[in-house]
Chains A and B, each alone.
Chain A
Amino acid sequence: MDIPFISASGVNVHYGAKQALFDIDLDIQANKVTALIGPSGCGKSTFLRAINRMNDLIPSCQFDGSLKIGGQDIYAPSVDVVALRAQVGMVFQKPNPFPKSIFENVAYGLKIHRLTTSKQELQDRVEWSLKSAGLWAEVADRLNEPGNSLSGGQQQRLCIARTIAVSPRIILMDEPCSALDPIATAVVEELIDGLRKDYTIVIVTHSMQQAARISQRTAFFHMGKLIEVGSTKSVFTNPQQEQTSNYITGRIG
């Protein structure tokens, strides 16, 4: 049960001369929600973006170390980053639907990867994705309206639907609820909990209550270093490191 699905060892990331991550060793298990917490600028988002190599887009970013998903080193030269990102989906901090219709937003990934063979299959898959994201009931009769006509919480669920449409193995979430109000946040949290059985989820969050509510494992980052990792329960109730307990009790951060 504790076989790591994502396994990072000796990960160092530099932005130019500035080092953002120091020697990170972190194992993430399949079909669990792993929360990355820590104060701003601690490197948790950098680590998250290393998992689907979105950091490659920043020219000055330099990755060293090994990061394996299912035993495959994703920074090996033979790895095609497009194939990697098709398997490792990402939900961003700010909802960012494409400036297209709701249907097109979800169908886009299916179309570029040619995952469906007929129009009917495409429609079924879009419907399934929207249902999985808990959005179908709200948008079923307005699939042709633009994606950004939805409310913030609906937009974020649309982004989640878009991500799961292409059946990734892993979903990375970068503070998915930080732009949402508490009610929308509750809906998305419930959704994340439901997605756990099918996907491996890594979520960066600023809210410790959220980490405690939805994650099974928690990793605490500080100043680019991984301070502590363990089951959420033990990290929050019985932190081994002083920095962790300072952070979760609100004394730093």
Chain B
Amino acid sequence: MIDFSKSAGFNLIRRHRAEKRFQWAGRSAIFISLTFLVVMVGSILMDAAGTLRQTQIAVTVDLGPDAVDPDNIAGARFGKILKSALRAQFPDAKKRKEKKKLYNLVSPEGSFEIKRQLIANPDLLGGPQTLWLTASDDLDLFYRGKSDASLPESQRRISDLEVAWIDTLAQSGSLRRVLNWNFLTNGDSREPEIAGILSALVGSLFSLAVCFALSFPIGIGAAIYLEEFAKPSRMSDLIEVNINNLAAVPSIIFGLLGLSIFLGYMGMPRSSPLVGGMVLALMTLPTIIISARAALRSVPPSFKQAALALGASPVQAVFHHVLPAAMPGMLTGAIIGMAQALGETAPLLMIGMVAFVVDVPDSILAPATALPVQIFLWADSPERAFTEKTAAAIIVLLIFLIAMNLIAILLRRKLEQRF
């Protein structure tokens, strides 16, 4: 009888053991990387959860004709109205310092909120009204239990007096938490409770649009020429080496280039998505060219030969047959380049997209900032409440990235179905 079992020799036991060992090594590598990913995303999500909702405080303000002129609502001194309302609510604040603390319960944006609510709804005029206003970040953190009240008073952001006020407010039902739409509809602010991501989001969107509009056609064009038409020569070798090197150049160098050429020499508008997009396009071009060339090279030469043998001109052969077949691969490369550009901070710092921008940019020439720069700015801010904003901004960036990749995948699938 022939022995087909493990004991048949051929070093089988050791070979099978080596196989098992390798499989387990691979599994544990995947497990470790997944764990890191879960920990990272989980901690960001947990930090960002606080941004989801926002504390509001009910303040009864006097909107009688003495305080607000019904014919000139915008001219009223809402700061004064708010302060006197707070003093009326808590008469125990006597000293200047105590009063200041009292005013700090409400966000500095509070007086503008009163004004906006009145302009939207003038019926509120005529007497005392209870309005919901955004609370300050310190109150918000304490109310959510993020500040440790057991610490000695000198080590807390919030004093015993304020703690007593907040407790009173909470017991009287004058505090509530609402969904924080402000985060998605506002621009940046020095005050964490009203700071939003919109200006950075729009800035990133504009920059990437410029970047894609420039780098995709130029990159694809360069790749097609180099791969399909250029005759091999010392010059084309030199260009190839240079493109490969450019892909490895640190991005801040491209920022310096943009600073000296686009801003310094050509005088283009500082901090604008136009210049940001141009700098990112320079940075993305090598990636797109290299991947597009690889995609073109992977198209079977038989397509081109068949077209040429039918009497197609070289340009027809490339554009009718090679390019459509290479398009999915080219898109993949472009999206990798775009994802890099989306996460890039350094070159944008050099061309001034690091500015504190409150207004949402309305064109590619308006001053703007970008998502990663906004994250960098918020992470650098001393206010504790910005920690949560930073995490939330990272999530917005990740969602942006996922959306971009999703579009690329759908496009690719659609293009591939044609064959």
- Interface positions of A (Cβ within 8 A of B): 52, 54, 57, 59, 82-87, 89-90, 92, 94, 96-100, 108-109, 112-113, 146, 148, 159, 162-163, 166
Contact = CB atoms under 8 A, between A and B. Distances in A.
A54 B301 CA distance: 13
Contacts of B419: 99-100, 146, 148
Nearest to B310: A109
Given A59-B232, A96-B303, A98-B321, A85 B316 contact: no
B309 A85 contact: yes
B306 A96 contact: yes
Interface in B319-368: 320-321, 324-325
A109 B325 contact: no
Interface of B: 231-232, 300, 302-303, 305-313, 316, 320-321, 324-325, 418-419
A83 B419 CA distance: 29
Contact of B308 (A57, A100, A146): A57
Contact of A85 (B232, B308, B325): B308
B302 A85 contact: no
Contact of A162 (B303, B310, B418): B310
Contacts of B302: 92, 94, 96
Contacts of A89: 309-310
18 contacts: A59-B232, A82-B311, A90-B309, A92-B302, A92-B305, A92-B309, A96-B300, A98-B303, A99-B321, A99-B325, A100-B419, A108-B307, A108-B320, A109-B310, A109-B312, A148-B419, A162-B306, A162-B310
A112 B316 contact: yes
A199 to B, nearest CB: 15
Contact of B309 (A54, A83, A113): A54
A83 B308 contact: no
B310 A112 contact: yes
Nearest to A101: B418
Contacts of A146: 419
Contacts of A148: 419
Contacts of A98: 303, 306-307, 321
Nearest to B312: A112
A2 B133 CA distance: 103
B307 A52 contact: no
A163 B305 contact: no
A166 B305 contact: no
Contacts of B316: 112
B281 to A, nearest CB: 31
A109 B311 contact: yes
Given A59-B231, A96-B300, A85 B305 contact: no
Contacts of A108: 307, 310, 312, 320
Contacts of A84: 311
A57 B232 CA distance: 12
Contacts of B310: 85-86, 89, 108-109, 112, 162-163, 166
B308 A54 contact: yes
Which one of A94, A100, A146 has the highest number of Cβ atoms from chain B below 10 Å of its Cβ?
A100
Contacts of B307: 98, 108
A86 B316 CA distance: 14
Contacts of A83: 311
B320 A54 contact: no
B306 A82 contact: no
A218 to B, nearest CB: 24
